[in-house]
Amino acid sequence: LLETHLRIDWVYAEATQPGFESIGPQQELIPPPPEEMAILYDLALQGNLRGIQERATRLEQLNEKYRPFASELQQLARGFEDKALIALIQRYTEER
């Protein structure tokens, strides 16, 4: 109905385009050291999404193996998913 009444054409993006990366089963999430996890947890509890994004960028630069975890943090922070961020950090903190 929207398409008809507003005379718009829907454009569907394919998941293979840049910017649509997702963590798949082939990419294992390797969390950073406990000190970094504690910092991330504090930032998440404060709701400091910008701080989490900055820390995730730092993690990517620290070691390539943290890239999938940092990417997941970035995605959740950009989507304002503060509860999901806290849950992710807690899950990987408890697994250690």
- Residue whose entry in the numeric block shows the structure tokens 């009444």: 5
CA angle, 30 then 25 then 78, to 5°: 65
The pTM of this model reads 0.69
pLDDT in tens, 14-69: 544 344 444 445 578 999 999 999 999 999 999 999 999 999 999 999 999 999 99
What is the number of residues in the chain?
96
